[in-house]
Amino acid sequence: MTQISELFTRNRLWADRLKEINPNFFSSLAEQQSPEFLWIGCADSRVPANEIVDLPPGGVFVHRNIANVVVPSDLNCLSVIQYAVEVLKVKHVIVCGHYGCGGVKASLDDADHGLIDNWLHHIRDVARLHHADFDDSMSEEDRVNRLCELNVIEQVRNVANTTILRHAWERGGEVEVHGWVYSIADGIVKGLCTHTADGLKNDAA
């Protein structure tokens, strides 16, 4: 088990390693951030945004929560989106879920999860909206993974429906909202959909 004190040692080794590769890395990074991507992802520790797309610190502006949910009442998430779109001028907003998501799985059972149930009801709403996508012949794993995909697509719609994105498009902004799903089993990302000012379209398989 990693002790908290070890994290300081690991941090020092990491910083030294990066400076060995590029002595100016941190001085350049400290001047400003200008990422082209906003990543809205799950808080799962196995789904790290930068590592998945192989970008260094400064390459991705990140917001994470349980099951990558975007709701109009979440001022935290909306503030991140506004800052990313209006100040950082990101070109792409990526909503990335992952197969086997624990939050999605919990939304499908009848157990009492305490406070988090208030959050999971947003995912349950997605399941109800797309009830025709599920049948009794599906395994639990298939049901969870299908809902992971549907949840991503609905959250893309939610991002696109914010006044932040609508106003950006009205001003002629070219920002795009993408829906992705990540497989922890093999490390590969699959594109599900893209939303632009012209609407939502499914990505090619």
Q: Is 10 exposed, middle or buried (0-12, 13-18, 19+ CB in 10 A)?
A: exposed
Element holding 31 (H helix, E strand): helix 25-31
User: Rounded to an integer, what distance in angstroms lies between the CA atom of residue 101 and that of residue 144?
Assistant: 8
98 labeled part of a ligand binding site? yes
Clarify whether 44 is annotated catalytic: yes
193 is in an annotated binding site: no
64, 77, 96, 101: which one is catalytic? 101
Query: Was 101 annotated as part of a binding site?
Result: yes
- Is 96 known to sit in a ligand binding site? no
Catalytic residue of the set 44, 64, 122, 178: 44
How far the first Cα of the chain sits from its last, in Å, is 41
**Of 42, 77, 96, 148, catalytic:** 42
42 classed as catalytic: yes
Annotation marks residue 101 as catalytic? yes
Of 10, 12, 16, 46, the active-site residue reads 46
Pick left, alpha or beta for residue 37 (phi over 0 → left; psi -120 to 50 → alpha; otherwise beta): beta
Catalytic residue among 63, 77, 96, 98: 98
Annotated binding-site members: 42, 44, 98, 101
Catalytic sites, residue numbers? 42, 44, 46, 98, 101
Annotated binding-site members for Zn(2+): 42, 44, 98, 101
